[in-house]
Structure 1
Amino acid sequence: MTADYKKYTLKFKRPSGTSRGVLTEKETWFLKISDGNSFGIGECGILRSLSYDDRPDYEDKLKWACNNINLGEKMLWEELREFPSIQFGVEMAFKSLKAEDPFVLFPSEFTSGKKAIPINGLIWMGDKQYMKEQISEKIKAGFSCIKLKIGAIDFETELDLLKSIRSNFSEKDIELRVDANGAFDPKKALRKLELLSNYQLHSIEQPIKQGQIDEMAALCRNTPIPIALDEELIGITDVTEKENLIQTLKPQYAIFKPSLIGGIRGTEEWKKVCETNEIKWWITSALESNIGLNAISQYTFTLDSKLPQGLGTGGLYTNNFESPLKVENGNIKYNPSKNWEFNL
């Protein structure tokens, strides 16, 4: 068996704002393995300053994984615990290699085009007018769940946006989620959550920065809005540590991003811990290309979650790969009659 990789830079159609800054491009690496007869494709993508494996020796480790591909999927995954995005790329590539169709990793009613996955419509940070335009577009496009990135512009302006939505759409019409990406000051966070609670929000993701265990535990205990952990899960690779974190913080929800938490196996570890502790969850992509998004979407469908997932990021780029994935009426769908255009 042989393996190699190639770096690829995804370009945003429009700069996309988060509380950690504005994104204009996203780096990713494609891992290709072959057994002489068939090939498999995996995607290893990082988010700078967020991914646990955003480190100088990243490509060296990717090269090591290619040189040691004959160790097999399971052993490689264990050896790569410090590199969650490479874990996911390796898993994906092996599943792709073993599949009848290298792009159908989890055959189901999703990949046959019979069923779709409900997703949230993502509203990026920007000035008030731009965010209003995005909200209007998502509602017109049939989304019943909208997620707003907050924490970068004036908080009063963000409250005004939420008020504007709620003045036109009730809680039954539109489910509202917000994502602070850790932007709130721990001393002011509870007050901000109290103000946000006036707008019947489904949840808030990561109100304060990860690693502030006592402060987050207190917030989860006293919050008027359900809290979903996101960044808090990144970098925790030991199962016992995962159990300790969930049992200590006791959040209302957890969000799994396979590229950031060790791929499918890592997600399964978190899922088991959360379900044991009666914590609900959903899955979100981490700005992968359509290759990674395809694997995450297919895997997500097999879990039969009833919550809207965070899988609507495929249309963000000017140079993504044409694929059978399509967002329509607030769902992500797979059209099996459409061919992939992946020629890297």
Structure 2
Amino acid sequence: MTASPRVELGLVPYRLALTRPWASARGGFPARCGWLVIAESQGLRGYGDCAPLPAAGTESPEMAERRLGALAAGALDLDETLAALARAPRSPTPAADFALECALCDLASRLADTSLRRRLTASARDRVPVNAALGPLSETHPGDLARAARAGFRVVKLKVGMTTPQLELQRLRDLAATLPPGLRLRLDANGAWDPAAARQVISALADLPVESLEEPLQEPDWPTLAALQSIAPFSLALDESVAAHADTLDPARLPVRRIILKPAAIGGLHRTLSIARRLQTAGIEVVITSLVESAAGLWPTAQLAAAIGSPIPQGLATADWLRDDLGAPPRIQDGYLHLPDSAGSGFALSDER
């Protein structure tokens, strides 16, 4: 029996400025900060990205730093550590655990000379449909929609809930009048509205080309969400409000049609894969999204999305928001993110390419 590889962990802090500040009803940020996690064994390296974002359901940067420091204090057994991550319940440091698992899975895939997605699922796809992430509704113009359509996107995501419902509804009507054929709107309120406002907005959106609406409620109680879904001709979705207890979601009792899964907030690739499979089996729509991470986090998240195989556009076209990056992101063409057959996640550090 071959001995499990011993792994040394390295941590490299980074700060990556955005092309423009990220804004939502829950706040925003001008840059993404975190740690590149490097797992090294037998002359090969695997990579992960720990970029905490508490508003999305992760731990604080301080908690992540302590967890990563403890992990990097000594050599790890590759197989034992991956097995322990798979067995453990969601920890208080999901972003750090996600980064560790990504680095170890990337390394294990490189050692086995297989792609990370096929290590997760033999039938994984080679491309993933994605939505364009355009930012706040107030900053989006008809030209942005036209460019997204020319790039092959079928869905564009807009942040709403940042001003009054009346103003946003009028803005949406104006934009919808210029929407290229075949393009639909994915809206994310990030918990902006009380039940009355949410009902008003959903009713007014009924005749617009809306693909879905994420996190409409400030206090997402399930009876209210079920009532809202019953009047919505499109999918309502939950995201950050369920990240901490996604493991225990009962698909039969969910009040909405769609769940958004962020692996860095869930706590890892295998944990997210297991949740996604359980939801899909019950007929719940699943969308995997990034946390606007570096390419070191985006690559394994895209590999996971390819393993899950959801036909719905996924929230992974976020690399353009970064002014600089740690390496090249996955290629997007005609509205699809394309993955190579190379071993590992596909990520290569800029100075290694």
**Partner of residue 256, structure 1:** 261
**Partner of residue 325, structure 1:** 330
| 1:342 pairs with 2:347 | no
- What per-residue deviation string (whole Å, max 9, x for no partner) do you get for residues 159-194 of structure 1? 234323433447x61122111111112232112110
The structure whose RCO (Cα within 8 Å, separation 6+) is larger is: 2
**Partner of residue 84, structure 2:** 75
**Partner of residue 123, structure 1:** 134
| 1:208 pairs with 2:217 | yes
* Pairwise CA distance, 1:216: 2.7
**Partner of residue 17, structure 2:** 11
- What per-residue deviation string (whole Å, max 9, x for no partner) do you get for residues 123-175 of structure 1? 211635x44443233223232211111111343343234323433447x6112
Change (3 A) 1:154 1:138: farther
| Cα RMSD after superposing both structures | 2.9
Q: State whether residues 205 and 230 of structure 1, in contact with CA within 8 Å, keep that contact through their aligned partners in structure 2.
A: yes
Q: Give SS of 1:286's match.
A: coil
**Partner of residue 155, structure 1:** 165
Question: Which of 4, 8, 18 is the equivalent residue of 1:2?
Answer: 8
* Pairwise CA distance, 1:205: 0.7
Runs of 4+ in 1 over 4 A off after TM superposition: 101-104, 335-339
Give the count of matched residue pairs. 333
* Structure 2 alignment gaps of length 5 or more: 1-6, 120-124
Separation in structure 1 between the aligned mates of residue 233 and residue 199 of structure 2, nearest angstrom: 8
Opposite residue 85 of structure 1, the aligned amino acid is A
Question: Which of 297, 300, 303 is the equivalent residue of 1:295?
Answer: 300
Change (3 A) 1:53 1:158: same
Opposite residue 223 of structure 1, the aligned amino acid is A
Q: Give SS of 1:195's match.
A: helix
**Partner of residue 136, structure 1:** 146
| 1:29 pairs with 2:29 | no
* Pairwise CA distance, 1:260: 1.0
Opposite residue 229 of structure 1, the aligned amino acid is L
Q: State whether residues 228 and 253 of structure 1, in contact with CA within 8 Å, keep that contact through their aligned partners in structure 2.
A: yes
**Partner of residue 46, structure 1:** 52
| 1:166 pairs with 2:176 | yes
Change (3 A) 1:86 1:30: same
**Partner of residue 111, structure 1:** none
* Pairwise CA distance, 1:333: 2.4
**Partner of residue 122, structure 2:** none
Q: Give SS of 2:38's match.
A: strand
Separation in structure 1 between the aligned mates of residue 301 and residue 226 of structure 2, nearest angstrom: 30
Deviates more, 1:90-99 or 1:156-165: 156-165
Q: State whether residues 47 and 347 of structure 2, in contact with CA within 8 Å, keep that contact through their aligned partners in structure 1.
A: no
**Partner of residue 102, structure 2:** 92
- What per-residue deviation string (whole Å, max 9, x for no partner) do you get for residues 280-325 of structure 1? 1121111111111111112211222211111100111112133262
TM-score normalised by structure 2 residue count: 0.83
Opposite residue 186 of structure 1, the aligned amino acid is P
